[in-house]
Amino acid sequence: MADTALSTQRAVHESTLETAREKILSVLPMESSVFKRRFYAAASSLAQSDSGITRCTPKSVIVAVWNCARVGLVPDPSLGHVWVIPYGDQATVQIGYKGRVELARRS
Give whole-number Cα distances, 42 to 19, 89, 100, 102, in Å: 16, 21, 19, 17
Higher pLDDT, 64 or 1: 64
Mean pLDDT for 69-95 is 92
Q: Are 25 and 33 in contact (CB under 8 A)?
A: no
pTM of the full structure: 0.86
What is the per-residue DSSP string for 23-77?
HHHHT-S---HHHHHHHHHHHHHHHHH-HHHHTS-HHHHHHHHHHHHHHT----T
Average pLDDT of the chain to the nearest whole number = 87
So what's the pLDDT on residue 1? 45
pLDDT digits (tens, 9 = 90+) for 28-54: 887 788 899 999 999 888 877 766 888
